[in-house]
Structures are given as structure tokens and as C-alpha cells.
Chain A
Amino acid sequence: MKNKSKAIPFICHVILGILAMLIIIPLFWMITTGFKSNKELFLSPFSLPDKWLFSNYIKAWKSGIGIYLKNSIVVTVAATALSTFISCLAAYPLSRLNFKTKRLSIYFIMGGLMLAPQSSVISLYKMMRITDLYNTTTGLVLIDAAFRVPFAVFLLMTFYKSISYSLDESAYIDGASTWQIFLKIIMPLSKPIIASCAIVSFRAVWNELLFANVLLESNSKKTVPVGLINLQGMTTTNWTVVVAGMVISSLPLVIAFLLLERQFVRGLTAGSVKG
């Protein structure tokens, strides 16, 4: 019995450890390769670099990563802000006011969750062409924001419902308008969930590839996910520079996660754990 009670934890640690190694090896390879010369990449893929070449990072930055990062930040911040703002507004009446078309409105907005971006990409391409929004940051921001709204509304609605209704009622009796209740009571109480909401949207838009690939044509407007593919195509001989570019592009989100782990986890889990 005593042996058994030690054996199980040991085996579990070994299996989980092997799994962790499988996760870490590619990450470790990525980080070290970013500092290697191309020759080293081919001859000694496992060892640490002989000389740590920071120049790979500078080269990657100059070959376009700098511009792509700037574009990605603009698109992601704008789309996240827009979708979060719109969703904060919409979730309020849907969770705290009564009106005839309430249920219909909920279904209509949440229905967006069922629509695959892949099924809209051709029509959206055409719509962007007709409205001259093709190859513009604005077009991409609007579309990316729209696809984030349903889930954001769902998260916010669930949270707004948990706020005590007596707060609204006493404010209402004191003569406050709905707008004042929304701004002065609901919004301040919802700060943590708004943060989670923004993080979830940020992650999705930051990584978005399909629309960015189809709707942006000029190199100067491309975001990181598309830009990296470009960089890879341009410098087929210089793999280590591409890897350096990938490390640079991954840092913002990984750092944000390590700093804001709690908000991350709250946002990610809210949609899958019944609220």
C-alpha cells in the first residue's frame, strides 16, 4: 500500500514531464535557432548557438517585421476597442432591461457565434471591393470587430446579470437615467470582465490570418501572421532570420499572458463553463 501510494504520483509526474518536454523542445529550438547562423541550423540543430547572433533579430526587424508589428497593433487595438465598446452597450439592455423584442435580439446577436468566417470570406471580399474598403486597415478592423461581438456580448451579459438589481432600482428612484446607471454603476463594476473580454478579443484578432490574407494586398499594410509568410517566402535561404522574426512576433502575447494570467484564464473559461 505504501509503495503504491508513492508510485502513482511518480508515474503521473513522469508522464506529465514527458509531455512538458514535447511542448518545450520546439519552443526551445525556436528561441535558440533565432540566434544561430544558417550553417549551424543545418549542422547542429540541438546545440546552443556558438555565437549568439542578435543580428538575426535586427535583420528580421528590417525585413518587415517592424512594419507588420505596427500594423498588427493598430488593427488589434482598434478592433478590440470597437468590439468591446459595442458589446458593452448591447449587453446592457439584453441583460438588465425588459422589452418586447428582447429574446429575439439575444438570439440575433448570439447567432453570430454559429457563422464561420470561412463561409463569409468570398462575400466579404466582394463587399470590400465594391465599397473600396479592400486593402484598407479600416475594412479589416470592421470585419474582425464584427466577428468578436457575439462572444463578447455573451460574456458581458452573463456578468451584468450577476450584478444586484437593487442598485439600478435605487438609482432609478433617485432620478438617474438608464445612461447614468450604465455609466456610473454597471461599467465600473464590470471592469474585470471587460478586461477579460478585451483579452479574448485581442488574442483572436492578433492571430487572425484568413481575412488579413484575403483583404490586404500591399506589403505596407500586412499584419504579422501574413507578413511572416511573406518573410518566409522572401528569404528562403535565411531560415534563422525568419525564426528570429517569429520570436519577436510571439513575445507581446506571451508577455501579456505571464503578466495577466488571471484575466486571461477568466476570459477563456467564461465561455465554456456555464455562467
Chain B
Amino acid sequence: MESRNKKTVFLYLAPAIIISVIFLYLPIIINLFESFYSWGALSPKKSFVGLDNYVRMFKDKVFLVAVKNNLLFVIGSVTCQIGISLIIASVLEAKFMRKTQRFFQTVYFIPSLLMATVVGITFKMIYSPSLGIVNPMLKSLGVDTSHIDLLGNASSATLSIVGMSQWQYIGYTVILFLVAIQNISEDLYEAASIDGASPLKKFLYITLPQLKDTILINTIITVTGSIREYDEVFVTTNGGPGSSTETLATYLYKAGFKNDQMGYASAIAFFIFIITFLIGLLQMRSYHMEDNN
């Protein structure tokens, strides 16, 4: 249908465009400029330093630790929230699960409704050697727990937070995949059954190819989420012990708001932007926005 006039279209779009320009696009542009300066919110001095903040960033050991930790989040989350979730979802769709499917799906999903703060404080407590329940449980399985302090030891802290994150979100993607599997035509599976295909073959040759788009989009969302990781680390360890659990986002927060090195923090922020933007372009492509109408 032809639009009546440009003014109408503009009135509908204006609020969304204006709010996006001011709060989504403008900050990124400001951030880019600010990353070329050395400045702080509390000090009046501001000097142009060119690319110094970026040079410093790639030489900064903590920054590299943060990148490594973000990668651990990516690996852990993709394995659990894509790989394992997909398997769980297809098992839940099996005929023999009909009666119990809803129970499992609801139980798995509930943690994803909780705030990251709630989950963080809860796990901080249950991981604690003095008041927690994880160490006593390991002990009852015969593990020597005298040296285990999951969040207190640099060697186990990051993985413990990654694990907590999986506890919270695995059920979320199970539901996403479950719904996607339910959307696959029943005929495909019936035809395969007639041909005598095993459940594994059906999974590999029907479920996986049919879910290609869903898997792609969820992988992108999971990967971007892991690169943006802030909440869980901030609540549990706030980057410690030492800098062992720092992620890009918690480190930028610390550099900017605790150490008042806003210019340096802006450089880290821009790094996050570039990486997530590039991955986001893939997401946009997979939404197939070109074939409008």
C-alpha cells in the first residue's frame, strides 16, 4: 500500500528514531572520541593522547586475562547453552518424555528468571568453604576439600562463575530449542520412521538441519552475551582474587569508575563494541531482514 504522506510515516517513526539516536548511537560515537584522550570524571585535566590507550590496552596483562576469561565464558556457554541444551531439548521431545516434559522444562527454566544478583550472591554463599554446601557435598563423595575454595582460589574462580552461569541459563535455551523442534513438521519424522531411521539419525538428518537458523541465532546471542559478561563476575568476585576473574566489562568498569581512567576505559569499551558489532552483523543477516514484504 502506498503511504498517504511522509508526515504520517515520520510521526510513527520519530520517537523510536530519536530515542535510538540519543541513547544508542550517540554514546558509541562519543565513546570513540573519548578513547583518544586521557581524562577522568574527577580531574579537570584532559589531554589528547591519540592511540595511546589502545597501545596500552594490548600490553596490559589484566586486559589479556580479561580476554582469556571472556573466551572461557564463550566456550562454556556455547558448549552448555547450545550443545547440551539442544540434546536435552531433543530428548525432552521424545515420545517417552511426554508425561514428564513439562515438569523438566519448567524446573530447568526457573533459574533464568532470577536476577544475576540473586544467583551471584546465592552461589557466593554455597561455594563458600565456611557456610556453603558445595564443599560438604564434594567431601561426602570422598574428595579432599581442605584446599578447595572455589571462588577464593584464582585457579578455580573463573570456571566456578562460568559454571554458575550455565546453571542459570541452560534451561532458557532448552525452551528455545524445544519450541523450535515442535515447529518442525511431524511428517518428516514419520517418513523417516517408515524408512527405519534410528533416533540418532533423525536427530542428525532432520532436527539439526531444520534448526540451522535457530542454532545460528542462539549461538550468536550466546557468544555476544559472553563477551559482554559483567553482572555475574561483578556480584561474585568483582574480578578477584587479584585480577584472575576480570572480564572486559568488569575491567572497564573498574578502570573508569574506580580508578578514574575514563579514557582507558573508553578504549576497552570500544573494543567490546567492535567485537560484538561484527558478530551482531551476522545476527542481522540471519534475521533475513532483506526479504521484507
Residues of B within 8 A of A114 (CB): 276-277, 280-281, 283-284
Q: Find the A residue at minimum CB distance from B123.
A: A26
Q: Please tell me the size bucket of the interface on A.
A: 35 or more
Q: Give complex CA distance A172, B262 in Å.
A: 55
- Do the beta carbons of A122 and B228 come within 8 Å of each other? no
- Do the beta carbons of B2 and A98 come within 8 Å of each other? yes
For B122, give its contact among A108, A169, A246, A274 (CB under 8 Å).
Answer: A246
- Do the beta carbons of B183 and A273 come within 8 Å of each other? yes
Q: List 6 tightest A-B contacts by C-beta distance, closest first.
A: A114-B280, A146-B23, A90-B16, A123-B27, A120-B27, A119-B273
Q: Find the B residue at minimum CB distance from A45.
A: B133
For A272, give its contact among B171, B214, B266 (CB under 8 Å).
Answer: B214
- Do the beta carbons of B114 and A250 come within 8 Å of each other? yes
Q: Give complex CA distance A146, B130 in Å.
A: 43
For A98, give its contact among B3, B121, B183 (CB under 8 Å).
Answer: B3
- Do the beta carbons of B115 and A228 come within 8 Å of each other? yes
Known: A96-B1, A126-B262, A168-B1. 6 other contacts (CB 8 A): A29-B122, A90-B16, A107-B284, A119-B28, A203-B113, A246-B121
Whether A41 is near chain B, meaning CB under 8 Å from some CB there, is yes
- Residues of A contacting B: mostly: helix
For B1, give its contact among A12, A98, A207, A271 (CB under 8 Å).
Answer: A98
Which listed segment binds B: A13-21, A49-57, A190-198?
Answer: A13-21
Residues of B within 8 A of A93 (CB): 3, 8-9, 12-13
Q: Give complex CA distance A207, B133 in Å.
A: 26
- Do the beta carbons of B30 and A126 come within 8 Å of each other? yes
Tell me, rounded to whole Å, the shortest Cβ–Cβ distance linking B111 to chain A.
6
- Do the beta carbons of B24 and A147 come within 8 Å of each other? yes
Count of interface residues, chain B, beta-carbon cutoff 8 Å: 101
- 7 of the cross-chain contacts (CB-CB < 8 Å) are A86-B15, A97-B3, A115-B24, A149-B20, A207-B116, A257-B113, A272-B214
For B23, give its contact among A90, A125, A143, A228 (CB under 8 Å).
Answer: A143
Whether A209 is near chain B, meaning CB under 8 Å from some CB there, is yes
- Do the beta carbons of A86 and B104 come within 8 Å of each other? no
- Do the beta carbons of B179 and A269 come within 8 Å of each other? yes
Residues of A within 8 A of B231 (CB): 209-210, 225
- Do the beta carbons of B20 and A112 come within 8 Å of each other? yes
Whether A3 is near chain B, meaning CB under 8 Å from some CB there, is no
Residues of A within 8 A of B110 (CB): 23, 27, 254, 257
Whether B189 is near chain A, meaning CB under 8 Å from some CB there, is no
Would you give the 0/1 interface string for B29-73, flagging 1 where the beta carbon is closer than 8 Å to chain A? 011001000000100000000000000000000000000000000
Residues of A within 8 A of B224 (CB): 116
Q: Give complex CA distance A236, B137 in Å.
A: 24
List residues 243-293 of chain B with CB under 8 A from any CB of chain A. 248-249, 252-253, 256-257, 262, 265-266, 269-270, 272-273, 276-277, 280-281, 283-284, 286-289, 292-293
- Do the beta carbons of B272 and A118 come within 8 Å of each other? yes
Known contacts A114-B281, A123-B34; is A97 also within 8 Å of B9 by CB?
Answer: yes
Whether B117 is near chain A, meaning CB under 8 Å from some CB there, is yes
Whether B125 is near chain A, meaning CB under 8 Å from some CB there, is yes
Q: Give complex CA distance A149, B289 in Å.
A: 17
Tell me, rounded to whole Å, the shortest Cβ–Cβ distance linking A135 to chain B.
14
Q: Find the A residue at minimum CB distance from B92.
A: A16
List residues 111-144 of chain A with CB under 8 A from any CB of chain B. 111-127, 129, 142-143
Q: Find the A residue at minimum CB distance from B11.
A: A89
Whether A159 is near chain B, meaning CB under 8 Å from some CB there, is no
- Do the beta carbons of A239 and B131 come within 8 Å of each other? yes
For B115, give its contact among A147, A224, A243 (CB under 8 Å).
Answer: A224
- Do the beta carbons of B88 and A272 come within 8 Å of each other? no
- Do the beta carbons of A147 and B214 come within 8 Å of each other? no
Interface centre among B132, B214, B269 (most CB of A within 10 A): B269
Residues of A within 8 A of B265 (CB): 122
- Do the beta carbons of A273 and B179 come within 8 Å of each other? yes
Q: Give complex CA distance A127, B21 in Å.
A: 13
Residues of B within 8 A of A110 (CB): 284, 287, 289
Q: Give complex CA distance A39, B213 in Å.
A: 52
Q: Give complex CA distance A113, B27 in Å.
A: 14
Known contacts A106-B292, A224-B117, A246-B118; is A239 also within 8 Å of B179 by CB?
Answer: no
Residues of A within 8 A of B6 (CB): 99
Q: Give complex CA distance A65, B98 in Å.
A: 41
List residues 145-175 of chain B with CB under 8 A from any CB of chain A. 167, 171-172, 175
- Do the beta carbons of A109 and B281 come within 8 Å of each other? no
- Do the beta carbons of A117 and B228 come within 8 Å of each other? yes
Residues of B within 8 A of A188 (CB): none
- Do the beta carbons of A232 and B121 come within 8 Å of each other? yes
Whether B208 is near chain A, meaning CB under 8 Å from some CB there, is no
Whether A253 is near chain B, meaning CB under 8 Å from some CB there, is yes
Tell me, rounded to whole Å, the shortest Cβ–Cβ distance linking A164 to chain B.
12
Q: Give complex CA distance A179, B7 in Å.
A: 12
Q: Give complex CA distance A274, B183 in Å.
A: 11
